[in-house]
Structure 1
Amino acid sequence: MARCKVLFLVVEAAETELLTRWMDAGLLPNLAALRHRSLHGGARCLPGIGANAIWPSVYTGVGPATHGRYYHDQLESGSYQSTKDGQTRAHHRTIWEAASQAGLQVGVVDLPRAFGGEQFHGLQIIDWNTHFGHEAFEVHPPEQRERIQAIFGLPPPCACKARQYLEPDPAEVAKVVAHIRQSIARSLALAREQLQSRDWDIYLTSFDQLHCAGHLLWHGHDASHPWHAQGSTAGYDPLLDLYREVDSAVGALLLGLADDCSIVLFTGPGMGPSYVRPELLDSILVALEGGRASPARKLVTSLKELWHRLPQRARRPLSSLAKLADKRLQGKDRAGRRCFSVKSNDAVGGIRINLAGREANGLVPTDEMDGYCNWLIEALRAVRIVDSGEPLVADIFRARDRYAGENIDRLPDILIEWNQASSISALTSADIGIVRQARLPDWSGTHSQRSMVMIHLPGHGEGSLPATASVLDLAPTLAGLCGLPPLDCEGTSLLTVAAG
């Protein structure tokens, strides 16, 4: 039997609160059994940074101001337009690159937002069956691609892409559940076959299907969501169904491991309800600027209104064209404004200041930057949700106040975490008057800032990780398990807990 010294397993976008509740209730027996023989606890995510950009930090142990990523779609340098990089390539060495360069046998199989490289000691399978990654499929060494496709084929796109803009009704929910269940089985088949194909010093893989499940099916789980009544079946929780399916897959994957294999499991970033549309922040910023929208922005707004009048199924084939048109018009609008929103995730927001000397058509002088940022932060803190009276903003800060690194200027200047506690139809403050949100987001679920880590070490029992544990600590922990020298990173190995 092939042996694996270190296994890093990601259960992407699994919500910590649901995992804990269902493990405690005996509904996720395999994950509960692993927890019982592991160091475990929460891991702090990155304040103000969305789910996509957490992965470079997980893989490198450095923050976004160092690796330079805040989203998979970022502003081009010196431009007002954004460029998409679905793999969220980092400007820093990853744990698998460090292990490969040390001569270890390394397997990287369908990690979320991972990226490949030609010089590699082992095997990399990138975006074969991952969330929104289907078009980027690659294998290193490339001669292995034909074999993998011959055995496993090429899966259909993930549920979020294949069933985007779904109707919130039980029939559509059933189709999504079936799609995701098949995807879990595919991921297990590939991951298990590759794990057993040779001896590995470190093998890194994931089940990412709960990402699509959380986005598309949250309303089927959450009785307080406005879509729940029309999109659920009495007594049936589609999320629980799929969490149990992933739990079974995890158990099947771990079954073939030797007793001396160290296991690091990371789950997250989690999921919760989604109530803030991506364009809402820009509507607030326009209101703060006096409500004078540019012709380009007026055109974008009109096109989006027309878009949402189309039947949901009619939008799917037009989605790429709509995004291209939006991108082309973005630049014209942003160049004439003092600040503008940059998308970083549905759960968080980002503001870029049109700074003189940095942006191509900078309008805010450098000596006004601090005062302008402070004014924006206070103005956004004052915004209230009309429906509930609660603040819209859960947290807001300048990126430079929380992060430091050579790529700090790649990040939005101001980062925001939204209050997603309840549905939003309108916002108000003394500065903006009334700003309305005409419809709920297209997905009922979005990411939370919660995650969980389990570290199983042969010969060690159950224990707790420190409250200070962070996603930045995962890469140095894996490096320690592999016997590598300390990484050049900002995190700290969690193995010190076991040693203590």
Structure 2
Amino acid sequence: MKPNAKVLFIGLDGLEPELALEMCEAGELPVLQSLREKGVWGMNASTPGFGDGAIWSSVMTGVNPAKHGRYFYHQLKTGTYQTYFFKEDTDFKHEPMWAEFSRAGKRVAVIDMFHAPLTKGLNGIQIADWLTHDREDVPRSWPPELIKTVIDRYGDDPFGGQADAPGRKTVDYIELYERILDRVETKAEMSCAYLDQGPWDLFMTVFADAHDLGHQCWHMHDPSHPQYDAQLFDEIGDPVKQTYIRIDRGVGRLIEKAGPGATVIVLGGLGMESGYTANFIMDQILRRLESPPGAQGLTYVDKLKEIYRTVAPRAVRKRLGRLGQRSEQKMLVSDRHDRKCFFVPNNDNCGAVRINRVGREPEGKVDPSDLDAYVDELTKDLKDIVNLETGESLVKEVVRVSEHCAGDHLDDLPDLLVEWNRPKPIRKIGSPKIGEIEAEYPGNRTGDHTKRMLLVACGPGIEPAGQIFNTSVTDIGPTIGALLGVTTQDMDGKVILELAATQ
């Protein structure tokens, strides 16, 4: 009997690999541990410095960010000083893997692939922005009528596509946790129902629950976090671990429904840790580095933001979220004209820097012939900054994006990614050049991403070889292609031979 899916891909968005492996060894994630024992597993390499939006986009396209063009939901518009909101359905510069497989005659199902474009005319089905993290558009599908059927039967996202909420109290966190557990069950139930409509050549589904819960509730897991509540932990346990356990059960249901003979690929990440960042003061740092000694590095934009946070109620700030971001960015445009470099929006794991380069920016200040020397000096200045509460360097690494990415859309990306050294909160920093800066993180997320990703695979032809090495997120597309008998075109990755050597 044929399996319901030849290849079953399960994404565990936001899963922390080190915690998951620890739980596997402790017997708390029996399904994932069984896959590890019967097949192979490894820690997938991701492009240094980039966040989840860029990395999952590389997973689904098989190419690096300089080819697919996405690094964040809010990006700089090349050739201007303005930013825009990236639209998944229109702004990607490279198609997702399933479009190529569909053209090759393969029957595919894609459910909530993280920040994925909707592919019309697909030989199969696709659900986009249903039960996902930070919904970028309305829930939609191919064929178009499918999404109504799904929502009528299984309901919509209990968070309306956005789990962030300022000012949560203990009872709110408990409610969030309970809704997350219910959402895991809903995704598993729905995915099993559509697996039953096989056979599929490729069935892809993604659980976003570790991502949402990790951002909102990491302080309920990590005893070292300043907001950790031991009494609450005694009452409800560890919500992060319990969510991983519930997801593991969902993975087991999907594998059982796929049937014997399916090749199962599970990809988890980007991981999570306590969410400390200096992004909220990054532009102030950069201004001070190019200002006369003693300058505060603050603009009228910063002062307006502080007044806004002080005066506007949290509920109002939540409703005005993106409107506020748009207004802020408009005010920043004039400031960027006169700078040598400036901060651009990015995930909290790294500060993103754009160099105001002659010949690329409208009013460039750094000549290409001086670029290397300028970057070297800026890197040294950034690494001289210290977290004054810990005595440690604030900056772990400064990544020059052009050394890790290549493609026609390299100029759509930041020039530098400043990786924060963040074992403790970042509240008071200083260096000889910038003086001291003291500020409190204005956000409500308590967990943020690591750069770790976990790959686990099991199936026909996959020998139980244990841990494998030297795999990349861009290898997923070519490897699935090989399993389906499709030689992929224009992808950066290679076939992972331990998964597809006999195909």
TM-score interval, smaller chain:
over 0.9
1:3 is aligned to: 4
Secondary structure of the structure 2 residue equivalent to 1:474: helix
Amino acid at match of 1:97: A
Equivalent-residue separation in structure 1 for 2:374 and 2:232 (angstroms): 46
Q: Work out whether 1:241 is the aligned partner of 2:242.
A: yes
Give runs of ≥4 in structure 1 deviating > 4 Å: 291-295, 308-311
Q: CA 1:339–1:490 in structure 2 vs 1: closer, same or farther (change >3 Å)?
A: same
Change (3 A) 1:57 1:135: closer
Q: Aligned partners of 1:365 and 1:460: how far apart in 2?
A: 52
Aligned counterparts of 1:433 and 1:447: Cα–Cα separation in 2: 29
1:277 to partner: Cα distance: 4.2
Q: CA deviation at 1:56?
A: 1.6
User: What TM-score does the superposition give when structure 2 sets the normalisation length?
Assistant: 0.93
Q: 1:82 is matched with which residue?
A: 83
Counterpart code for 1:177: Y
- CA offset at residue 36 of structure 1? 1.8
Q: Which amino acid aligns with 1:103?
A: G
Could you tell me how far 1:496 is from its partner in structure 2? Answer: 4.5
Residues of 2 paired with 1:486 and 1:118: CA distance? 20
Give 1:248's aligned amino acid: R
Aligned to 2:150, which of 148, 151, 174? 148
2:344 corresponds in structure 1 to 342
Q: In the aligned structure 2, how far is the partner of 1:480 from the partner of 1:231?
A: 51
Distance 1:96 1:126 in 2: 13
Q: Which residue of 1 is the match for residue 186 of structure 2?
A: 186
CA, structure 1 residues 68+460, in 2 after alignment: closer, same or farther (shift >3 Å)? closer
Q: Percent identity?
A: 31
Aligned to 2:207: 207
Q: Tell me, what secondary structure is at the counterpart of 1:369?
A: helix
Give the distance between the partners of 1:418 and 1:332, measured in 2 at CA. 28
8 Å contact kept, 1:14–1:270: yes
SS in 2 for 1:234: helix
1:170–1:233 contact (8 Å) kept in structure 2: no
Q: What is the CA-CA distance between 1:309 and the residue it aligns to?
A: 5.6
2:427 alignment counterpart: 425
2:52 maps to 1:51: yes
Secondary structure of 1:263's aligned partner: strand
Residues 347 and 86 of structure 1: CA distance in aligned 2, closer, same or farther (over 3 Å): farther
Matched, 1:301 2:303: yes
* Contact 1:340–1:352 (Cα < 8 Å) also in 2: yes
Deviations 1:474-496 (A, max 9, x none): 11111111110143222111124
Q: Which amino acid aligns with 1:205?
A: T
**Would the alpha carbon gap of residues 86 and 14 (structure 1) be closer, same or farther in structure 2, given more than 3 Å must change?**
farther
CA distance in 2, matches of 1:97, 1:164: 35
Distance 1:458 1:204 in 2: 18
Q: Name the amino acid aligned to 2:122.
A: F
Preserved contact between residue 100 and residue 106 of structure 1 (Cα < 8 Å): yes
Tell me how far 1:459 sits from its aligned partner.
4.8
Structure-1 separation of matches of 2:356 and 2:462: 53
Listed as ranges, the matches of 1:303-318 within 5 Å are: 303-308=305-310, 310-318=312-320
Q: Distance in 1 between matches of 2:114 and 2:307?
A: 33
**Structure 2 stretches lacking a partner, 5+ long:** none
Tell me if structure 1 keeps the 8 A contact 2:43–2:453.
yes
Q: Does the 8 A contact of 1:86 with 1:113 survive in 2?
A: no
Contact 2:387 2:430 in 1 (8 A): yes
How far the C-alpha of 1:461 sits from its partner, in A, is 4.2
CA distance in 2, matches of 1:411, 1:131: 22
Report matched runs for 1:308-387 at 5 Å. Answer: 308=310, 310-387=312-389
Offset of residue 163 of structure 1: 4.5
Please report how far the alpha carbon of residue 359 of structure 1 lies from its aligned counterpart in structure 2 after TM superposition.
1.0
Coordinate RMSD, CA, aligned: 2.2
- Which whole-Å deviations, capped at 9, do the CAs of 1:46-67 have from their partners, x for residues lacking one? 1011111111210122111222
Write the distance in 2 (CA, Å) between the matches of 1:178 and 1:86: 31
The 1:230/1:306 distance shift into structure 2, 3 A limit, reads: farther
Question: What's the offset of the Cα at 1:26?
Answer: 0.9
Q: Tell me by how many angstroms 1:389 deviates.
A: 1.2
CA–CA separation in structure 1 for the residues paired with 2:164 and 2:412: 33
Deviation at 1:103, TM superposition (A): 1.0
Give the Å deviation of 1:117.
2.2
Give distance in 1, aligned partners of 2:178 and 2:39.
32
Q: Which residue of 1 aligns with 2:453?
A: 451
Secondary structure at the residue paired with 1:344? coil
Structure 1 unaligned spans of 5+: none
Q: Judging changes above 3 Å, is the alpha-carbon distance between structure 1 residues 320 and 499 closer, same or farther for their aligned structure 2 residues?
A: closer
Task: For 1:401 and 1:432, locate their aligned partners in 2 and report how far apart those are by CA, in whole Å.
Answer: 28
Shift of 1:116: 1.1
Inter-partner Cα distance in structure 1 for 2:318 and 2:443:
16
Cross-structure match for 2:73: 72
CA contact (8 A) 1:377 1:397 kept: no
> How far does residue 39 in structure 1 lie from its aligned partner after superposition?
0.9
Q: Do 1:134 and 1:158's aligned partners in 2 also have CA atoms closer than 8 Å? A: no
Secondary structure of 1:330's match? Answer: helix
Q: Could you say if the C-alpha distance between residues 153 and 438 of structure 1 is closer, same or farther in structure 2, counting changes exceeding 3 Å?
A: closer
Which residue of structure 2 aligns with residue 225 of structure 1? 225
| Alignment partner, residue 196 of structure 1 | 196
More displaced 10-residue stretch of structure 1: 12-21 or 372-381: 372-381
Q: Distance in 2 between matches of 1:163 and 1:91?
A: 29
Match of 2:414 in 1: 412
8 Å contact from structure 1 (residues 275, 440) kept in 2? no
Give the 3 Å change call, closer, same or farther, for CA 42–294 of structure 1 in structure 2: closer
Cα drift, residue 75 of structure 1 = 0.8
Deviates more, 1:357-366 or 1:107-116: 357-366
Task: Check the 8 A contact 1:16/1:452 in 2, yes or no.
Answer: yes
Contact 2:158–2:179 (CA under 8 A) maintained in structure 1:
no
Give yes or no for the alignment of 1:108 onto 2:110: yes
How far does residue 181 in structure 1 lie from its aligned partner after superposition?
1.4
- 1:130 alignment partner AA: T
